[in-house]
Each structure stands twice: as C-alpha cells, then as structure tokens.
A and B are shown apart, each in its own frame.
Chain A
C-alpha cells in the first residue's frame, strides 16, 4: 500500500470509528436535541426572555436574515463553550493510544479523520438549529419568511467557529500539556479573546484583514460595511428595562456581503484545517502514568516524601467511630492533594489579607478551588472506580455529599485568614456561597459526564463572571 493510499485508509478508519462511537453515545442525541429545544431561548423579544442582541440600545427588526444572524451570533459567542465541553467530554475522548501510538500510521491522517468526525457532529447540530430557525422564522419574522435567508447567515457566521473549535480540540489532544486542565484554561482564554478580538477590526472599513479579527463574525452583519465607530452592540446579559422602545432596522445583507467578510469566514475554515495539520506534525505520545519528578529544591518541595515506616505488627484497621466524618476528611485531603495545591492554598489565603477581598482574595481562592474540585470530581466519577465504590458501605451519593462539604470546607479555610484580619464574617459568607456552589456544580457535572472537563470549563466561565461583576 503506498503512502497516500495508506493515509487515506487511516483517515477513513479514524472517521468511521469516531462516527460509530458518536452514533452510539447518548451525548450526540442530546446535543442534536439541545439546539432546536434551546433555539427559542436564543431569540429575545421586548420582555427580555432569551438572549438579547441590542444595537444602539434597541432590538433589531427580526427579518429572516436577522433571525439567521441572531442565531449564528449566539452560537459563536455564548454557546461555543458548550461545544467545547461536548468535544472534550464525549465518548471519543478515550482512545486506545497505548496500541495506536506504536503503529506507523500517519498522525496527520489519524487526526484529520477525528477532526472530520467532530466537524460532522458540530455541523449536524447546526443543521438541527437551522430547522429550528425555520420553525421560529415561520412564527416570528417580520416581513417575508425565507428559509434561505435564515440558513445562509446562520451557516456563514456559525460554521467557521464550530470547525475551528473541532480543530482546537484536536490540537489540544495532540499535545500532552494541553490534554488536561491546562488545555481547558487555554480554551477559556482563547474563547474570551475571540469575543474581544472583533473590537480590533470594528473601527476599520470592511476588508479581509479587518474581518479576520472577527472570529465570531458578528461585527459586519450588525454594523454594516462601514467602520462601526461608536456603535453600541450588546449580546446577552442586557436589562430589558434599559432598551429603547421600537426596533432598529439593520441592513444585514450589506454586512454579510461587505468586502472581505465571506473571504475571512472561509479563511477561518482554512486556519482550522492548518491547525489540525500542525497538530499532526507536533503530535506527542501520551505518557505512561509515572511522571518525571524533576530535580532541585522545587522538586524536593513538591514531592510527597518517603512513605511512612511499615510496622509488621500493625493491627487490622477497626471500623471508624464516625464513618461519615471520615469520608468528609478523606474528600478534604483528596481535593487538596499534592504539595503544589497546599503551597498555592497558602499563597491565596495570604492574598486575602490585603486589598479588596471580593475582587482579589475571593476570586483567587475560588480559582484554585475550581482546579482542585474538578480534578478530584473527575477522578472519583470515573466509571471503573464507581463500580468499586458502590460495593462499599457508604454509597456514591454519600461520597458526593461529603465532597460538597469538603469543598465548602476548603473555601472556608482559605477565607479564614481574611476574616480574621478584617474581623468580619463577610469573607466567610462569600466563601460559603462560592465554595458551596462550585462544589455542587463540580460534583453534578462530573457525575453527568464522568470527566473533569465539563465542570472545569463551566466553572471557569462562572469564575470570570464572578471576577468581573
């Protein structure tokens, strides 16, 4: 078999097996259902129910084209993290890399196959959203109802970021340091940057370069081909009372056909494919469980140290007086496992001593806690471990409750120095609310997905909202 035929066969096989696995998972059907069911909540009316898009403090006139633009913008700004969570937490996240990575199969072909499968799934959900858009359009649009003018802007705006999302997931899976928590953090920053980036090109006349900054693709459809200037665009989180009466009539078509807009959207698809190719070239194998400990005083500080001395005459362990309390303490230790966590915990607790606690100490401890909570929640909800846990006298639900208590306990402990220094209970109240909510959310999402990806991304977004509010 020559190289290109072999690459083709590897690509087809990777695509086929990924699609088979997607098709057999309930997550795919949930994703395909979420889009049409949630579509109604993506479009707001004057009551403010749903996601508001306001231009110059007014809702736009809901023509067929505007409806497509609206749905597209909601997908590329607010819903991309949902797609990311799905891609990172779905059935295809576990691959038999132990045997795949020792084959001579071209990595690029393998990754292109998986990328294609991810694209099919994400674009499949865009198909169901299009159907929902047609139904909503039939009910809601002002002026003539045109399925084409709903689908065209929706796909032009939303498809490139979804394809880019699939490419990012492939890139993250190719590099060891992005396969775990760091990848989620990197995605969080990339997502934030993608929403802010359009502002860089908004004040320039429409051109390929200016539109390339607009990854979510909302500037030209809302602002038109001219420089956006002082145009005030708000997406989501708008108080309906602040909206002016009446609706603003936007020439969406002029924006979609502004110079360089379509070319820039297509370029993002090209960039996505290039990222997958780079991922294939940079692919690094998975590491076997044992990690390199490193050298020097940092490694010494972070190492667990020698094991405790073994006593041959150690008696058999007796039943604990309070098993539930023991469980909470065990969860507490596991959330804060490792000396790195403990060192950072000391640092964030000290951070809370000075400055504005609500905007410094509290977000810092919450951020640390998010990583500890999600890592432990993901580990303990692993399917294999659950089979063992159900056989113990304390049920998995008891363990989950203990997890929430322990997580809240960590939050309170981190806030204690700040409360003592200020002589006020406010830091403790904040810690109780944020730590409790984060623990519950981490536990629920990890239980649902069996991994730490979903809780980490959701909590990072919630953390940003908390930090900036």
Chain B
C-alpha cells in the first residue's frame, strides 16, 4: 500500500498539488481530471521520479526515506514521454531495463516476449525503436514497466495513441496485474476501466477527490 500525507508540489509559484492525502491499496486506481491538472505530477511523485516540496509518503507502512529502494525494486513505471534509445531494438532496450531492475536476463527475455505477444508488438521486438510508430513506442514503454513482478505500477496514459483493440489488450494486462499489485493509472478514458477500479480519483486544482 502506498500512502500520501499532505503532499505539496509546486513549480515556481504554481502549486500543482496542494496538501494531497490519499491511500493507494492493492488494485487499480484511476486518476482522471483535465489536462494540466497534476495527474502526471502525482504519478511522478508516486514513482519517486520527483520529490514533493512538503508532506510524507509511505510504502508498505514505512516512510519513503527508508523505503525508497524497496519501492523502486517493486516499481514498474511508464511515463508519457521517454527518450527512447532509437538505435537499439525493442528487445535490447527491454533487456537493458531488466538488468537495471535486477531481473534475470533469460527470464526477462521470455517475459518480454510474452507481454509483447499479448499487446501485438511481438513481431517487432527485434526491430530498431527508430522504426516504431507512436503507438508502438507507447506499448514498448508499457511492456518494460510490466517486466518482473512489479508491486507498484505507475502508468501515465498507457492506452493513449492506441486503437480500440490494442487498448483493450493493454487494459486486460493492467487489470490482471492489479489483482496483486498497486496500480495507479492516469487516463482520459476511464469509462472502460472504471468497473475494474477500486478507486477513481479526480485531480483538479491541486486537490485529489473521489470522482
């Protein structure tokens, strides 16, 4: 379980999150809200990609200062924009990420093949990322986040740029993983996933409230 207590995050004078408190239990939590409301900022905080200006976070009951490494070991993170290494193949990139996550290479290779097969990317994993379309890149970033058995998945619009069928394939994997893990996902299309979610939270004007 991930807990936020009175979290504030500002950029200059703009306060994006203002005293946010929330609990993210095992299961799927959807973050909805208008563009620029702070959904991605909240996700970056959950993924430890950024630090809050004020407030505390806790992972499995331990304050983040002590549990940062444990959280990162359990984390799968798919941000919206990644500077993907264009000259590597998708598989080479995934295996590199697996090494950084401390996963066994052979097993990660097999798991990556399985994940990409389910989201329609398997035929392209030996192609260079430079040849990938926007949707393929999105699926690649999602697939690397799913490697291992992440207990916390932070997904920023993982179904954006995907056609309906592929978005459904990605959603199915997310719902599956949410049975065992804390999955927090931002989306503009909450309707399809809302029935599977334990929480749907609305981020707006620096606050997070049940939608």
Interface residues of A (CB under 8 A from B): 1, 6, 9-10, 12-14, 16-17, 20-21, 24-25, 91, 94-105, 110, 285, 288, 290-294, 299
Contacts and interface: CB of A to CB of B under 8 A. Distances in A.
Contacts of B44: 288
Contacts of A104: 69, 72-73, 101-102
Contacts of B11: 290-293
A104 B74 CA distance: 9
Interface string B11-24: 11100000000000
Contacts of B77: 99, 102
Contacts of B84: 96
B79 interface: yes
A20 B88 contact: yes
B119 to A, nearest CB: 17
B88 A21 contact: yes
Contacts of B87: 20-21, 24-25, 91
Contact of B85 (A16, A17, A285): A17
A104 B67 CA distance: 11
A293 B13 contact: yes
Contact of A98 (B49, B95, B100): B49
B50 A288 contact: yes
Contact of B49 (A96, A101, A293): A101
Nearest to B70: A104
A99 B12 contact: no
A325 to B, nearest CB: 35
Given A14-B99, A21-B85, A94-B85, 9 more contacts: A95-B83, A96-B84, A96-B85, A103-B72, A104-B72, A104-B73, A105-B99, A288-B49, A293-B12
A14 B98 CA distance: 11
B12 A13 contact: no
Nearest to B11: A290
A279 B195 CA distance: 47
Given A96-B83, A285-B49, A293-B12, A17 B88 contact: yes
B96 A98 contact: no
Contacts of A6: 102
Contacts of A290: 11-12
Contacts of A17: 85, 88, 92-93, 96
Of B12, B69, B93, most A-chain CB atoms within 10 Å: B12
13 contacts: A13-B96, A16-B96, A17-B92, A20-B88, A20-B92, A94-B85, A94-B86, A98-B81, A102-B49, A103-B72, A104-B73, A288-B49, A299-B12
Contacts of B49: 98, 101-102, 285, 288
Contacts of B73: 104
Contacts of A291: 11-12
